[in-house]
Amino acid sequence: MTPTGTAAISRRRMVTGVATLAVLSTGATAARAQESAVTAIDIALEPDDIMIQHAQAANARLLQDFPKGFALDATHHPHISMLQQFVRTADLDHVYAAAGRVFGEEKPLSWKLKAFKYYYIPSPPIGLAGIVVETTPDLLRLQQNLIAAVTPFTVQDGTRAAFVSTEDGRDIQAFLLEYVADFVKIAAGPKFNPHVTIGVDTETYLNKLLAEPFDAFTFSPAGASVYQLGSFGTARKELKALPLTS
């Protein structure tokens, strides 16, 4: 073989080696990105038709007054948030299994829950409204057991990329990042406020809504799921349905 031919082979081998290293580097980068990816989840009880009808009726009222709000639909599921957290995306299957075991030890389908008033979280000049559910020992026990089961897979901080977004993260409120990160501190145990979100409206209208008499009603859980959160903490994407027993 001539020196020229040997040099050509060496160059080809070098090019091939560089290309191989590039592919390996890209794969390693993708693997690290997957390992570090975070998902904002909501482990939720889903209410029966009685609550859904009340929530949808209230949602229709809000939309009539404030059309810029959101409708309760297939991507905005009526639900009772039991636990919101940032978890490692790579551990989602472990989260499903852990939450499933907790629900398997309970009998939520037989619970009778009482809805007794409206409320809203202010974000001036608007507010996020919901129907408040009376806290019960069953709900508190379920929440504490879910926290214990899921904590090994949680991370403290997440970004807008952890949420379902239709606007490249611009529709994810800054307060929502803090709320999910601090959920166990600010929305669990004695501070738990079980509710079904009904939509968004101006504070002016919501204050009028809260001043109206509220006809309390009872309902029961009908299902449970793990959702990926979206704007205003809505249950935008069902990640896993969890079986319940009665």
The pLDDT value given to residue 245: 82
* pLDDT tens digit sequence for 202-225: 999 999 999 999 999 999 999 999
Q: Are residues 99 and 7 in the same domain?
A: no
Greater confidence (245 vs 119) lies with 119
Q: Are residues 3 and 105 in the same domain?
A: no
Q: Are residues 30 and 88 in the same domain?
A: no
The two tokens of residue 115 are: 């809805």
User: Rounded to the nearest 5°, which phi and psi values hold at 235?
Assistant: -85, 90
The two tokens of residue 187 are: 């929305």
Q: Is the peptide bond before 47 cis (omega within 30 degrees of 0)?
A: no
Distance CA 78, CA 99 (A): 19
Q: Are residues 14 and 94 in the same domain?
A: no
Please, which pLDDT band fits residue 12 given cuts at 50, 70 and 90?
low
Q: Are residues 57 and 165 in the same domain?
A: yes
Q: Are residues 93 and 167 in the same domain?
A: yes
Q: Are residues 83 and 181 in the same domain?
A: yes
* pLDDT tens digit sequence for 158-196: 999 999 999 999 999 999 999 999 999 999 999 999 999
The pLDDT value given to residue 26: 43
The closest of 202, 231, 240 to 96, measured between CA atoms, is: 240
Q: Which helix (H) or strand (E) holds 154?
A: strand 154-155
The closest of 197, 216, 241 to 52, measured between CA atoms, is: 197
Q: Are residues 48 and 160 in the same domain?
A: yes
Query: Which residue reads 């935008």 in tokens?
Result: 236
* pLDDT tens digit sequence for 64-76: 999 999 999 988 9
Q: Are residues 75 and 174 in the same domain?
A: yes
What DSSP letter does each residue of 118-147 carry, written as one string? EEEEEETTEEEEEEEE---HHHHHHHHHHH
The whole-chain average pLDDT of the chain stands at: 90
Q: Are residues 193 and 114 in the same domain?
A: yes
The pLDDT value given to residue 31: 38
Distance CA 224, CA 109 (A): 10
Q: Are residues 192 and 94 in the same domain?
A: yes
Residues 81, 132 contacting (CB under 8 angstroms): no
Distance CA 174, CA 1 (A): 68
List the domain range (segments joined by +) for residue 75: 37-242
Distance of CA 213 to the CA centre of its chain: 31
Domain CATH code at residue 208: 3.90.1140.10
DSSP reduced 3-state for 187: coil
Q: How many domains does the chain have?
A: 2
The closest of 208, 203, 211, 210 to 124, measured between CA atoms, is: 203
Over range 98-118, report the average pLDDT: 97
Q: Are residues 3 and 79 in the same domain?
A: no
Task: Read off the pTM.
Answer: 0.85
Give the whole-number percent of the chain exceeding pLDDT 70: 86
